[in-house]
Amino acid sequence: AQPEDVPKVGAGSSREIKFNFHYIFSSFVANPRLFFLAMPPSTYTRAAQVVCGVGAVAFGIYFGYENRHKTTLRAAWTTDFKPSVEWDWNWDRREPSSLVKPPKSEDMKETNEYNQKLESVKSKANRHLIFIRHGQYDMSPKNDEGRILTELGKEQAAFTGKRLQELSKELGGFDLVVHSTMTRAIETAKIISGFLPKVPLSSCELLREGAPIPPEPPIGHWRPEPSQFYEDGARIEAAFRKYFHRADADQAVDSYEVYVCHANVIRYFVCRALQFPPEAWLRISLNHGSITWLTIRPNGRVVLKALGESGHLPVDKLTTS
């Protein structure tokens, strides 16, 4: 039973509590133990809620103060955040605004002529570039002529040719097949061409294997002379500039082109096309007979649709060297 000399404190409104504050405080000072015993359970609940609320607010203020100098990450499209590296829309020097001289004045006639010229040079189709790494080859001979495909390499080329044949049916055909002039690439291209008999076959010296640029990080067991990077790098970059660009304005439909070449060349192309650091090329590994697919959009965007795809090869036929 509760003592009769200590009145029960009810969980009334804030107005009632404020009115009786002096009486409640006096009771608490006179006998704190009896004061708390006289409180109903609802008052304890309310007090606990208040204490927790005050504690949460205090923690929030403290946490915010301690982290006031830290960067808050937000979605780029919701803020004015700028990427560390912005996309170069004129990477192939075929951005329409770079091909047409701007009007000398704001005259309506000149402006209309300028806009018409812009439309006339705009790309309208996609270019699909499909790169094939040659099959496995005999690495023991010192000269290129002796570095021919192994039996496994020929099988790999045949599997890739069959896969391209299937793709050709889905895509409506390939426009051309271009191969490096090195022996292993020539042999691989000939095998693939047997599955694509109606597709024109040609060669290109620029696609030969080489050392495109000193890799980062470097690899101890592979250190070409600086002169090799200087010579090969210029040639492989010339190949990139020759084959990587958006479609000409007069190309009305999408094109599909196959290039049979080498791992270093393909990896460098991928980095350059996606505007990644080109010295990162050696961080990528490609299987023999693998397929790498890059698409160049009319507006200059580049999409990597496949990198070293090898699903068409049986597991026991996969090799990298």
Orientation angle between helical segments 151-171 and 183-193, nearest 10 degrees: 50
Q: Which pLDDT score, from 0 to 100, does residue 71 have?
A: 55
Q: Is the pLDDT of residue 23 over 60?
A: no
Average pLDDT, the chain: 86
pLDDT for residue 1: 46
Q: Which stretches does DSSP call E strand in the chain? A: 127-133, 176-180, 201-204, 255-261, 291-296, 302-309
Give the per-residue pLDDT at 80: 67
The full DSSP string for 119-160 is: HHH---S-EEEEEEEPPPB---SSSGGG-PBPHHHHHHHHHH
The whole-number pLDDT of residue 223 equals: 87
- Per residue in 39-97, pLDDT tens? 566 665 666 666 667 676 666 666 666 665 555 555 555 666 778 889 999 999 999 99
The model carries a pTM of 0.75
Query: In whole angstroms, what is the distance from residue 173 CA to residue 125 CA?
Result: 16
Q: 190 or 29: whose pLDDT is higher? A: 190
Owner of token pair 């790309």? 123
pLDDT tens-place string over residues 169-214 = 999 999 999 999 999 999 999 999 999 999 999 999 999 999 999 9
Assigned token pair, 273: 């096309």
Residue 6, pLDDT score: 47
Residue that has been written with the tokens 């002039």 in this structure: 181
- Tell me, what's the pLDDT at 3? 47
